[in-house]
Amino acid sequence: MQWSDRYTYYQNIVEEALDSAIPLAVSPWEEGQIPQRLAEAMRYSLLSKGKRIRPVLLLAALDVAGGDLRCGIPFAVAIEMIHAYSLIHDDLPAMDNDMLRRGQPTNHCKFGEWTAILAGDALLTEAFHIMAQSDSPYALKVIKEMAKRAGAYGMVAGQTADLSFEGKLADENMLSYIHRHKTSDLFIASMNAGFMLAGSDDGLIKAAENYAKMLGLAFQITDDLLDVLGSSEEVGKAVGKDDDKLTWTNLKGVEQAKIDAEKAVQKAVDYAQSFDFSDYAFFAPLAQSLLQRVK
C-alpha cells in the first residue's frame, strides 16, 4: 500500500468516528443530550474538511507499533476535538479575527461569538470526556500527555506568545518557541499517544517526539509560505494577512524559509528511520509531502 493510501485509510476511520462523536439532539433542550445549537456549532468546526493530520499520526503510530487501531479511536477523536477548539478560539475577534477557515465562514461568523466560545469550551471538555471512557490501561498516561501538550505548558503557551509578539520585533528563538508550542506540541501529543497506547518503550517515544517536533516545524514554515505565496481560494483561509505577525517568512525571507522547511523535513525523515519500520515507510514520505503543500 502506498503511504498516501494508508493516510486515506486512517483518515476514513477518523471521519467516521468524528461524525458519531457529537450526536445531534432531536429537540433543542433534550435532557441528557447536547443542546441543538451547541451541537451544531461543535459539529460545524469538527466535521469541516481538514487534513486530520493529528489523528492520522496517532493511528499510524499505534499501527506501526503493533497496537489495536480500535483502542486508538477515542484518542484520535479527542486530539481532533482539541485542534478544532483551538481553531475556533484562535479565529475569534479578540484573537486573530479571521472570517474564513477551510473555505467556510469561521465558527463565530456562522453562529455568533458567544456560541463559538462555548463550542470551543465544549469540544475541549468533550475531548477529555471521550478519552476517560477508554478502557486502555494507558488511558490516564495519555490524558496527562494530551493535557500537558494542549494547555498552559503547550499549545496555549504558543498562542500566548504568538499574540504577545504581534506587530513587535522578535528573534528566531521566540519564533521557534511559538512554532514549537503552537504546532509541534499537538503533533508530539499525537505521536506519543499512539506509541503509549501500544505500550512502546521510552526510546521509541523519544524518537517519535523528535520526529513530531520537526514535522510540526516544517508544517508551520510551509503554512507561513502559503500565506505569502498561495491564493485564498487554494488555501481555504485568508492569506497575506500575517504581515505584522511574527512568521518565518517575515523574519527570514521566502528563500531562506524554503531552505529551512527542507532542512526540517530532512531531520524528520532521519528521525523516522528508527520507527518507520512497517512493510512500507509512512512517516518519512508524509514528512516529504509537506514540501508540496498547497493548503
Pick the closest to residue 43 from 107, 131, 105, 89 (CA basis): 107
Q: How far apart are CA 29 and CA 207, in angstroms?
A: 47
Q: Closest approach of Cβ 104 to a copy of itself, in Å?
A: 20
For a copy of itself, give the closer residue by CB, 183 or 222.
183
Residue 145 to residue 162: CA distance in whole angstroms = 22
The three three-digit cell numbers of residue 22, written as one number = 457529537
The CB-of-158 to a copy of itself minimum distance in angstroms stands at 9
CB of 171 vs a copy of itself, minimal distance in Å: 11
- Least separation in angstroms between residue 20's CB and a copy of itself is 15
104 membership: H or E segment, kind and range: strand 104-105
For a copy of itself, the closer of residues 13 and 38 by Cβ is: 38
Binding site for a copy of itself (CB under 8 A): 22, 29, 31-35, 37-39, 42, 85, 89, 92, 94-95, 112-115, 117-118, 120-122, 124-126, 128-129, 132-133, 139-141, 143-144, 147-148, 150-153, 156-157, 159-161, 163-164, 174, 177
Report the C-alpha gap between 76 and 71 in whole angstroms: 9
Q: How many CB atoms lie within 10 A of CB 292?
A: 7
Distance between CA atoms of residues 125 and 160, nearest Å: 20
Q: Which is nearer to a copy of itself, 116 or 287 (CB)?
A: 116
Contact between 79 and 189 under an 8 Å Cβ cutoff? The reply is yes
The residue (of 126 and 224) whose beta carbon lies closer to a copy of itself is 126
Nearest distance in Å: CB 81, a copy of itself:
11
Q: Which residue, 32 or 201, has its beta carbon nearer to a copy of itself?
A: 32
